[in-house]
Amino acid sequence: MTTPPVSAPSFRAPKGTYDLLPPQSAEHLAVREALAAPVRRAGYGYAETPGFEQVELFARGVGESTDIVTKEMYTLTTKGGDRLALRPEGTASVLRAALEAGLHKAGNLPVKLWYSGSYYRYERPQKGRYRHFAQVGAEAIGAEDPALDAELIILAVDGYRSLGLTGFRLLLNSLGDRECRPAYRAVLQDFLRGLDLDDETRKRIEINPLRVLDDKRDQVRARLGGAPLMRDHLCEACRDYHDEVRELLGAAGVPFEDDPRLVRGLDYYTRTTFEFVHDGLGAQSAIGGGGRYDGLSEMIGGPALPSVGWALGVDRTVLALRAEGVAPKVPPATEVYAVPLGGQARRTLFSLVTELRRAGVAADFAYGGRGLKNAMKSANRSGARFALVAGERDLAEGVVQLKDLHSGEQTAVPLSAAGEEVRARFGSSS
């Protein structure tokens, strides 16, 4: 009898995307939770927005000249004729939601929100850059205060450090505001117009010349060596603001590098702009970043609400941890594995597993009526610390066998006290 050939699956994940399955999914979940924990402790409430929004929200907010809007957004037209886009970033969506709900009218500013989810950009797939990716983000809406900028940066650093990540660097810059940026913009445009650049880049000079400084192509960057810098054109207010951010970071023990060419890829940034990079990731070195966006609310039809925020890449952070050989702390999926031998044992241990789960113990069960040998193999593969084994003779004696899968030691414990005994064992080991 010949074995039939194994057929390939009919469907695969779309190009540039990925599936998260155990055990890797536990690693990603641990990273999300670690990055979110500091902001939750700092009073940020959870926000969740739709996976798609009106195209115009991103065109106005992110910027019509950005690669995100011109090249990378996934767009669709509904049956009713509405143009929608899968969200390419989180800030515009969260700000839109806060404005729609009137959170800024409650008088308790800033409104502090955090979020986590998947985002979508049509990019050339490569390591560390996907067409769907996960981020944890945080926004402080409605207050202009350098302490808020510093707070968010510190919270991001604390999240990275809690994972054991050490090889990241913080790049810091100021992009000025509506008072001093226009003069710098004019000076920069004059400089850029004198360079030999392609037609698409020359169009960008007229729309948003700062975006040219963010161009990653070597042939463009090679021509920017003598470009004027924003730091030399900051007004006194912006210079004082930036100095205070720097002082607060220094007092908190957060090292940073001044990067006068840092502009990031979004049009809405003003004043404080920052990026976290990790040199172990090659060309795609950014693992997170953000900045202040004091005019974004007005761009999308809201009142003046100076705000600041960041987004940290979950996928990139996982890659950075792997580059350093650091594994995030992942709670065991299974702590106790129950192995019944016989019908009565099956019913009794199933009830015991339910009791343990309700008491907060991660417990699993040998389903399918497998024999002892195969069931114990599954118990060891599950990563459980203990196995609960019971047959008809054990039940007749009113006991179950509690086996330590690390040491191999096995003890008969009273069935009536088995749950308490398991919880005591975990308490003593911790």
Tell me, what CATH number does 60's domain have?
3.30.930.10
Answer yes or no: is 204 a known binding residue: no
Answer yes or no: is 40 a known binding residue: no
Tell me how far apart the 2 most distant CA atoms of the chain are, in Å.
92
Answer yes or no: is 355 a known binding residue: no
Answer yes or no: is 90 a known binding residue: yes
SS (H, E, C) 257-300: EECCCCCCCCCCCEEEEEEEEEHHHCCCCEEEEEEECCCHHHHC
Q: How many domains does the chain have?
A: 2
**124 and 83 housed in the same domain:** yes
**396 and 256 housed in the same domain:** no
Answer yes or no: is 298 a known binding residue: no
Which has the closest alpha carbon to 406: 386, 388, 429, 382?
Answer: 386
**29 and 141 housed in the same domain:** yes
- pLDDT tens for the 430 residues of the chain, in order: 556 666 667 899 999 888 999 889 999 999 999 999 999 999 999 999 999 999 999 888 777 656 677 778 899 999 999 999 999 999 999 999 999 999 999 888 999 999 999 999 998 877 778 899 999 999 999 999 999 999 999 999 999 999 999 999 999 999 999 899 889 889 999 999 988 888 888 888 888 888 788 777 888 888 888 889 889 999 999 999 999 999 999 999 999 999 988 887 666 788 999 999 999 888 779 999 999 999 899 999 999 999 999 999 999 999 999 999 999 988 888 999 999 999 999 999 999 999 999 999 999 999 988 889 999 999 999 999 999 999 999 999 999 999 999 999 999 999 999 999 998 887 654 4
Provide the residue range defining the domain that includes 386. Answer: 336-429
**Two tokens at 372?**
């002892």
Answer yes or no: is 48 a known binding residue: no
Residue 203 falls within a domain, yes or no? Answer: no
Tell the residue number behind the tokens 């705000």, with chain if given.
307
The residue from 324, 347, 378 where one domain ends is 324
Answer yes or no: is 139 a known binding residue: yes
Spatial neighbors of 177 by CB under 8 A, at least 6 apart, are 235, 237, 238, 270, 271, 294
The residue from 269, 301, 324 where one domain ends is 324
Residue 198 falls within a domain, yes or no? Answer: no
The residue from 324, 344, 364 where one domain ends is 324
Residue 162 to residue 150: CA distance in whole angstroms = 18
The backbone region for 362, taken as left when phi is positive above 0, alpha when psi lies in -120 to 50, beta otherwise, is beta
Spatial neighbors of 252 by CB under 8 A, at least 6 apart, are 150, 154
Residue 36 falls within a domain, yes or no? Answer: yes
Residue 13 falls within a domain, yes or no? Answer: no
Answer yes or no: is 226 a known binding residue: no
